[in-house]
Amino acid sequence: MKWLYLFKANFRREYIYLKRYLPNTISELITFYAIFLFLFFGIQIVGDPSTIELNVQNTIVNYLFWFLAMMVMQGIGWSIMNEAQLGTLEQLYMSPMGAWRILLARIISTTVLQLIMIIILLYLSMLTTNTWLNIDAFSIIPILMLTLISMIGVSFMIAGLAIIFKQIGSFLQIFQFILMGLTFAPISNLPYLVVLPVVKGVDMSRGIMIHNSRLSDFTFSDYTLLIANAVIYLIIGIVVFKRCEKTAMIKGVLGQH
């Protein structure tokens, strides 16, 4: 029950933020839609006419996962930076639930709300390009959930850096381009990338949404890689976060900005 109350409180908090700063939320949606239009018209100009439809389909899936990966992987890091700027970071550690549990509930709440924006962008993109993907929720949701777990693990690693260094905005800006490379990279040409977060989940989602694959079409090794990726990155993320947290406490820089 404590977890449920924690989630409800954080979900309400994130919803109030989105509603209170609605112009910022709308501008964020417009910005990412404009980025997609830029990518789409770029494909129209320089793309191969014989593969234009496949390229557009790949672009829609890749850019949506890029948007999602940025929101989730950087989410806890931005939250730590904001708490430090407001001088409320130490208050998280006064809760009996512990800071990492509060941050976990917060990133899950944010992700649920961001998924609504993803769905809006998805249908806007398909409507704009007149290119319709296979939206098989039964197949997509399990893969998406496992992919999100690995993203949250990375988000905890970045949050650990934020606890120690506080200002990591420049790193997060560079990290956006790294995420673009991961989400747009084709696994068939770079198979070793499957060990990295997001990559395997995006590849399997592309198979469902573009090539009409089903869960039964994927192999045992596909699921093994996806599940292992999720579990390993989540565990590493929480361990790194706890170690950084301990280091910040020893150095006495937890509440400093």
Does the predicted TM-score (pTM) go above 0.85? yes
Domain coordinates in residue numbering, the chain: 2-251
Cα–Cα distance for residue pair 83/91, rounded to 1 Å? 9
Q: Is the confidence at residue 75, as pLDDT, over 90?
A: no
- Concatenate the DSSP letters of all residues of 123-145 into one string: HHHHHHHT------HHHHHHHHH
Q: Which residue has the tokens 């006064």?
A: 94
DSSP 8-state code for residue 50: G
Residue 203 has pLDDT above 60, yes or no: yes
Average pLDDT, the chain: 85
One-letter amino acid for residue 175 of the chain = F
Task: Please tell me the total number of residues recorded for the chain in this structure.
Answer: 257
* C-alpha pair distances (Å), 235 with each of 45, 156, 186, 228: 44, 10, 27, 11
Residue 236 pLDDT level (bands cut at 50, 70, 90)? very high
Distances (CA, A) of 184 to 18, 117, 171, 195, 216: 28, 20, 20, 15, 25
Angle at 214 between CA 218 and CA 233, to 5 degrees: 55
Label residue 257 by pLDDT band (50, 70, 90).
Answer: low
224 to 176, 198, 212, 236: CA distances (angstroms): 27, 14, 21, 18
pLDDT value at residue 253: 67
Most confident of 49-58, 158-167, 234-243: 234-243
Nearest to 227 by CA among 247, 206, 197, 254: 197
Average pLDDT over residues 58-75: 88
pLDDT of residue 48: 65
Give residue 102's pLDDT: 87
| Ramachandran category for residue 213: left, alpha or beta (phi over 0 → left; psi -120 to 50 → alpha) | beta
Q: Identify the residue with better confidence: 255 or 245.
A: 245
- For 98, which DSSP code? -
* 6-48 tens-digit pLDDT: 888 888 888 888 888 888 888 888 888 888 888 877 777 766 6
Q: Exposure of 185 by Cβ count < 10 A (0-12 exposed, 13-18 middle, 19+ buried)? A: middle
Distance (Å, whole) CA 26 – CA 19: 10
pLDDT in tens, 85-116: 777 777 777 777 878 888 888 899 989 988 98
Residue 256 — very low, low, confident or very high, per pLDDT cuts 50/70/90?
low
Q: What is the largest CA-CA distance in the chain?
A: 61
Residue 40 pLDDT = 79
